[in-house]
Amino acid sequence: MSAFLGAFILIINMSIFYLVAFLSIVFSLLVIFSKNPVHSVLYLIITFFTFTVHYILLNAQFLAIVNFIVYMGAIMVLFLFVIMLLNLNRDTEPMHSLVIKIIGIIAGGCLALTLIGALKATLSYKVPVVVTKSDLGLVKNLGKVLFNEFLLPFELSSVLLLSAMVGAILLAKKESNAIN
Amino acid sequence: MESLTNRKKVLEQKPMNFIERLYLPAIVKGMAITFKHMFKKKETIHYPEKTREFSINYRGMHSLKRDEQGRERCTACGLCALSCPAEAISMIAAERKEDEMHLYREEKYAAVYEINMLRCIFCGLCEEACPKEAIYLDGNIVPADYLRRNFIYGKDKLVEPTLT
Amino acid sequence: METAFIIEKFILVTAVFAISLLIAMYSTYAERKVAAFLQDRVGPNRAGPFGLLQPLADGAKMFFKEEIIPAQASKILFIVGPSLAMLTACMGSAVIPWGQDLEIAGKKISLQVTDINVGLLYIFGVVSLGVFGVMIGGWASNNKYSLMGAIRAASQNISYEIAMGLSIIALLMVTGTLSMKEIAAQQSGFHWNIFYQPLGFLIFLICAFAETNRTPFDLPECETELIGGYHTEYSSMKLGFYLFAEYINMFVSSAVMATLYFGGYNFPFMNDLGFSANVITIIGTVGLFIKIICFIFFFMWVRWTIPRFRYDQLMNLGWKVLIPLAIANIVLTGVVLSLT
């Protein structure tokens, strides 16, 4: 009975994964193809939400919730904010000159090449990655890893963020001084 | 400039000190004041059940008075219409017949007496002008209506009901 | 076992949902009643005894109003806005522990819908998601005033979220856990967090007022200046959803504050009374609801005492007072913790 139930749960898990993966691909495509920038941002928010679901499926609760707060709750709000204020729509869209189109194609092609290369590199691992500890993504374990093994990069990145913050304030300040 | 009366008080505004700038004591004080009002007597009068009493000199809807024997006092002299600043009163006089002695006190009476309540400003000048003490503004508030023509009150609405 | 678990959780979810909607519904009534009492009036007293059926009458009125969608509005987003506001308002109550475990027939039944490892962050995330309902609704209306109102509301919410998060961090340093259940359990008896984090609580309280758009921070919906703010174009039940979401938010944030700072379901001398565990649990749950109702009353009491902030005052308070104060609180907590 319990073996059957376990298999059943596994099937549900897998089908949820495939459903969410499909949704995240669909919505990320919609981000690119929708004409209205505000709709683009909203689709991007849904895409991030599907990523959150992926994290939850991996039992990485902390990452899931941080993705939820930082990307969906903060960064995307600011994106939405700016785009709504600029009031971009089809009429104000910049001209699509041929040069820009060519540059876009080249840049996109480079990205696609890199991604394919990265995918090929992972394909060379014959053994699939298996998560040995299921509670790897919980706060306690994540904190221990971050503050022991990766202390230096963690602190460095925090200093980077701090300097970015100070820089932003400095930029804002300078402008107001110029007006005065 | 120097003030002539010297009664002007100059209000000195001191800069707020730290505790005042926190605003917390002021907020607590304000909260206490509003909380006290929870237990104060409620000023509401539950209207349809209870009505507020009018003051004794309140001027409401007009009524045409009768004398002790139930006869209409009005003699249709027209002084009220003349005194009315809003031109709200109009009337048609008629002569009393022999068999109407018990209905009207004077020989002349108002066959039609109309007050336009939309024009009336309830000043009470008609009441003061009346030599026969026939009109008084001692009624209630004039009720609302949907049609303008319903605000022209005739004798049916104005004359006091008979005592019997 | 599994089916029993699912049924138990299903009942619990339904109960929590129903109770939060019921309390939010009667908050609308209580709001008018409290307002009346603070102003020496009587308040609604016509619908039913003491006006108790007033929320139903209001709801029925909302349903029968004409439904207007502006011609130039984007229709789907116009409907998504209030739905999202309502959804995010209801989501928060999932991680709040409503009481200790009940023991019925030798089985432990948890009075918490789910005890996720990062419950506190979850609430924070749901709060930050609440902005989208406002922003989408304001933008979809295709009205300048609505857009301005939405942007105003969103920038207020974002600004106060930061101070709120920082005040939570100081609390986390004291509790050492993100799970709501453990935070509640640590405050057993009278060891409430308010005694260890008074400043943090004050900051959290102010931010809760700002996040739920209550006076003195009700600029997003001030009728006098922005003709209703982001919901200018809304009518009928869609407007009702926006207004109702505010009351659910108020209930959830009261529950969060009661759980984080005022001991949740704990009450003084709970272990010395000598009652059985189940009785204590039930008293605790009732106590939690009393605390929540006290907070809701406080929300209303403040509304009729303190006038609305001006917008620059609001931003000054958020960025120049509350955030430095919250950081100072973190430092202070750290110093005290390292000394003891």
Mutate to test the interface with B, among C306, C316, C322 (most CBs of B within 10 A): C306
**Domain annotation covers residue A7:** yes
Chain C CA closest to residue B41: C40
Of the candidates C77, C121, C154, the beta carbon closest to that of A65 is on C121
What's the pLDDT at A132? Answer: 67
Between A92 and C303, residue with greater pLDDT = C303
Q: C1-51, pLDDT tens digit by residue? A: 578 888 888 888 999 899 989 999 999 999 999 999 999 988 888 888 888
CB-nearest to C117 from A42, A81, A139 is A139
By DSSP bridging, strand B152-153 and strand C107-109 are unpaired
In this structure, are residues B72 and B105 in contact, taking their beta carbons and an 8 Å threshold?
yes
For C39, which residue in chain B has the nearest alpha carbon?
B37
The number of distinct structural domains making up chain A is 1
- Nearest by CB to residue C125, choosing from A45, A68, A139, is A68
**By the 8 A CB rule, do C152 and C311 touch?**
yes
Which architecture characterizes domain B63-158 according to CATH? 2-Layer Sandwich (3.30)
Question: Helices C119-140 & C144-175, crossing angle to 10 degrees?
Answer: 180
Q: Which residues contact B94 (CB under 8 A, 6 or more apart)?
A: B76, B108, B109, B110, B111
Contact B41 C37 (CB under 8 A): no
Q: What does C29-42 look like in DSSP terms, one character per residue?
A: HHHHHHHHHHTT--
Cβ–Cβ < 8 Å for C182, C118: no
C128 to A80: CB separation less than 8 angstroms, yes or no: no
Q: Give the rounded distance of the alpha carbon of B12 from its chain centre.
A: 47
Q: With a cut of 50, list the residues of chain B below it in pLDDT.
A: none
**Quick one: pLDDT at residue B115?**
94
| pLDDT reported for residue C201 | 93
Q: How is chain C split into domains, by residue range?
A: 67-339
Q: How many angstroms away from the CA of B37 is the closest CA of chain C?
A: 5
Surface of A (66-95) touching C: CB under 8 A? 66, 68-69, 72-74, 77-78, 80-81, 84-85
Q: Quote the CA–CA distance of C79 and C86 in Å, as a whole number.
A: 11
Tens-place pLDDT, residues C98-132: 888 887 777 777 888 888 878 888 888 888 888 88
* Mean confidence (pLDDT) of chain A: 82
Tell me which residues of chain C, numbers 40 to 99, contact chain B at a CB-CB cutoff of 8 Å: 40-42, 45
- A48 falls in which pLDDT band (50, 70, 90)? very high
Q: Is residue A162 part of a domain?
A: no
CB contact under 8 A, C41 and B46: no
Is A62's CB within 8 Å of C122's CB?
no
In a 10 Å sphere around its CB, with 0-12 CB exposed, 13-18 middle and 19+ buried, how is residue C298 labelled? middle
ipTM (interface pTM): 0.83
Chain B nearest-CA distance from C306, in A, is 7
B neighbours by CB contacts (3+ pairs under 8 Å): C
The CB density around residue B102, as the number of other CB atoms within 10 Å, is: 9
pLDDT band at A180 (very low <50, low <70, confident <90, very high): very low
Distance CA B72, CA B111 (A): 11
Closest-CA residue of C relative to A9 is: C2
Helix boundaries (H) for chain C = 2-38, 54-64, 75-91, 119-140, 144-175, 180-186, 198-211, 223-226, 236-261, 277-303, 311-315, 323-339
Neighbours of C (≥3 Cβ pairs closer than 8 A)? A, B
Contact between C171 and C202 (Cβ < 8 Å): no
Is residue A53 a part of any domain in this protein? yes
Query: Residue B142, class by beta-carbon neighbours within 10 Å (0-12 exposed, 13-18 middle, 19+ buried)?
Result: middle
Tell me which residues of chain C have a C-beta less than 8 Å from any C-beta of chain A. 2, 77, 116-118, 121-122, 124-125, 127-129, 131-132, 135-136, 139, 147, 150-151, 154-155, 158, 161, 178
CA distance C205 to C299: 10
Per-residue pLDDT, A110:
94
Domain that holds residue A24: 1-93
Mean pLDDT for the stretch of residues C186-199: 86
More confident residue, C171 or A123: C171
Distances (CA, A) of A159 to A164, A171, B148, C335: 9, 18, 79, 22
pLDDT for A147: 87
Distance CA(A116)–CA(C259), nearest Å, equals 50
**Contact by Cβ (8 Å): C246, C31:** no
Q: Tell me how close the Cα of C172 comes to any Cα of chain A, in angstroms.
A: 12
In this predicted structure, what is the pLDDT of residue B153? 93
In the predicted model, is pLDDT for residue A127 greater than 80?
A: no
Q: Residue C334 has what pLDDT?
A: 93
Return the higher-pLDDT residue of A98 and C17: C17
Report the distance separating Cα C245 and Cα C24, nearest Å.
8
What is the reported pLDDT for A106?
Answer: 94
Report how far apart the first and last C-alpha atoms of chain A are (Å, whole number): 77
CATH assignment at residue A87: 1.20.120.1200
Alpha helices in chain A (DSSP H): 2-33, 37-57, 61-66, 76-86, 98-123, 139-148, 151-179
Position A93 scores a pLDDT of 61
What is the per-residue pLDDT for B5?
A: 82
